[in-house]
Every structure is written in structure tokens, then in C-alpha cells.
Amino acid sequence: MRKDDLAAALLQAVQAQHFERTADTLRGGEPLDAPPSIDLAVAVFPRGAAPVCANVLFSREYPQGLIARFDATTGAVANIAFHADVRDAKGDSYAWLPGADWTRIDFPAWFGSGPRFVAPYPASLLKMMVAVGIGRLVDASRSDWALPLSFAGQTRAIADWLFDMITVSSNEATSALVAHLHERGAIRREGGREVHNELHDAFAVAQLPGLMIANTQPDGGWGNGAGSGVGQIQMTAWDALRLMWQLDVDASPAPALVSPASREVIRRALDAQKLHHNLNSESLRALPGWVPGIPVPPASFAHKTGNTQNYTSDAGIVHDGDLHYLIAMTTSLGMRYAPHPEASTTWKLPALGAAVHQWLKTNS
């Protein structure tokens, strides 16, 4: 397999879903009024050969897609100008609403140079950055997985909070752990602004510019209402994938961001994931019109999902016999595009997961 073939296959897989036809509940079920943003990355690990990686990106500005090029030294995306998402004075995300005129929105430059891509908010995929931050505290003997942590009237071990944050995407658990990062000095604020963030320092050393978790609060606040959230918490698909790479013992036997022991704790939570409803749709099998995604079983998919009204994300580690790959996706296709109240997004996303998996099975 060549990286050019993988990139072409990813482009074709996205294009084949015709996401521009996705029904939008904010438009009364009519198709969305502009092509959505989709950032999709895959890394395949053939036995006895070097990994094969590709990243493709789509937006209303580039509806036919862009192929990322990686810097030979850092591994970072080298040909895309990533811009941050935005929210209004009320703290609401507005760039993805019907009628939004992007020519009148000042999307802040984030990093990189080349064609502009506005990075969709990663939703609960951001919790992987929190997990790594806690793992680093433990590795530095500034916390412990067994340490009792009290938050919102509950006292639980750090590892138990993390397990709930990953497996059922508990926002309360996330707030507890964000507050712990502040309490232990990993994040510090002075005069109402963030002045120290050890996670950003670690991501810079690991050459992961596409990860940002800024302006969280000492009380655990991390959403729009806390002054964080959209525009302050960002993840590109490529660097979300590379974060997962750090947690995949078969792909990365010597992780840099966390110790093998902390990696094992985080990986146990990923393996126990209970929310299969984006690239894999097994949790939604009983719904009318169900569309299968990455087939679990027979494959295993250790992953983290994210969903809000405007955004859907998913990233994780797939094994299916000899096939081993990482996949990560961030999109502007949130719950408002779901065909059923219990679904989380359009069926086109699990269909995309299934198509990518099938191509890899056939061509690996």
C-alpha cells in the first residue's frame, strides 16, 4: 500500500457519501446549505512494513477535498492553514448555522500555512487530552490513579473518574479531572487569564501543534459558558490520531507523552468504550434504518467519540485479524443531522467508517 493510494481512497470514500445532501433539522429536513467540514486521518500498520498514513480534509471552501502533506522532520501537517472555530458574545457556536456567511466571519489563524481549513470543535474527543494530562501528573508523582478525588459531592479514585470520562463520556468526570489539573498546577491562571499550561508544553515537545485545550477553569469548567470550549479547545484529526498512536502498544512501544503504566490505564478505558455511534454504530443497531459502520465484531475498536448539536468526532485503534490501523475524524455533522432522536449524527458517518474499513481489508 502506498500513501498516495490511501489518500485517494479516503477522498473517494468521503465523496461517495455525498455529505452535501445530508438532511438538516434546522432547515426542516432539507439538505444543509453548505458542504460540511470533515477532517479524516488514517494510519495503517502493515506487518513488517512502515506505517502508511494519509489525511484528507473537506469544507465548504474545498468541497472536493484537500490532501495533507506531512513534514518529514516533525510529522505535522505542513500544507494547511488551520484556523480556530468561533463562538458569539453569548458563547454560542454560530459558524455552522444555516445562512452563516464565512466571508464575514473572522476565524482566528491557529497554525500552519496553505489553504484555509476551519477546524471543527472536537466535542468530547477533547477528553483524550484531559486523560493524557492526568496520566502525566501520575507519571510525575504529582497524583495517583488510586487517589480519592472529591468533586460535586462524590469521592472516587482518579482512575474511576477517568474510566467514566472515556467509556460513557461523563462531563462531570471531565470537570473533576480538569479541576485536578488546575489544583496540581498543570494549568494555572492569573488575573483572569491562563498563564501556564503543561499540556501545551508537552504537545509542543511531541510536535503535535493540532492539540489545544485552553482557558479551562479551576472549578473544572471547560465548556463555552466557562470561556473555554469552542475556539479554545481544538484538535485536528491528524494530531488526534497521533495522540492515539501514543496509546497503541502495537504501534508505539515507547510512548513519549505518558508512561507504559499510564498508557495501560487509559487504554483499558478505551477498550471498554460503551458509545458506539459514529464511525461504528453498534450501539444503535436497534434503530430503524440502522447503517453499520466499522464492524465490531469481528473488529475491535478502542476509541473515543464526541457529539454536540453541531459537531461529531471519533478516534481510535482498530484491529481486525492482521489489519491494524488508527482512524480519527472531526466534523461539523452533529446531532442536528441525526435521523432519529436516539442517533447521534447522520448515518453517512458510520457508512464512511465501513467503507474505509472495507477498503483497508481489501488492500492491506
Mean pLDDT of 224-247: 96
Mean pLDDT of 340-354: 97
pLDDT digits (tens, 9 = 90+) for 144-177: 999 999 999 999 999 999 999 999 999 999 999 9
pLDDT of residue 89: 83
Is the model's pLDDT at 253 over the cut of 70? Answer: no
pLDDT digits (tens, 9 = 90+) for 102-152: 999 999 999 999 999 999 999 999 999 999 999 999 999 999 999 999 999
Ranges of each domain in the chain: 3-363
Is the model's pLDDT at 255 over the cut of 80? Answer: no
pLDDT of residue 48: 84
Work out the number of other CB atoms within 10 angstroms of the CB of residue 356: 24
pLDDT band (50, 70, 90) for residue 256: confident
Residue 343's nearest CA partner among 290, 273, 274 is 290
Domain 3-363 listed as CATH 3.40.710.10: yes
Longest dimension (CA), the chain: 56
Query: Starting from the edge strand earliest in sequence, which strands make up the sheet with 116-118, in order?
Result: 109-111, 81-83, 116-118
Contact 299, 195 (CB under 8 A): no
pLDDT of residue 147: 98
pLDDT band (50, 70, 90) for residue 364: confident
How is residue 116 written as a grid cell?
Answer: 484555509
Q: Which residue has the higher pLDDT, 263 or 1?
A: 263
Mean pLDDT of 261-282: 96
pLDDT band (50, 70, 90) for residue 183: very high
Contact 64, 18 (CB under 8 A): no
With a pLDDT cut of 90, the percent of the chain lying above it is 94
pLDDT of residue 254: 61
Crossing angle of the two packed helices 260-271 and 158-167, in degrees rounded to 10: 40
User: Would you say how long the chain is, in residues?
Assistant: 364
Contact 176, 129 (CB under 8 A): no
pLDDT of residue 90: 83
Mean pLDDT of 256-283: 95
What phi-psi label fits residue 18: left (phi over 0), alpha (psi between -120 and 50 degrees) or beta? Answer: left
pLDDT of residue 102: 96
pLDDT of residue 29: 95
How is residue 31 written as a grid cell?
Answer: 439538505
Contact 262, 141 (CB under 8 A): no
pLDDT digits (tens, 9 = 90+) for 274-332: 999 999 999 999 999 999 999 999 999 999 999 999 999 999 999 999 999 999 999 99
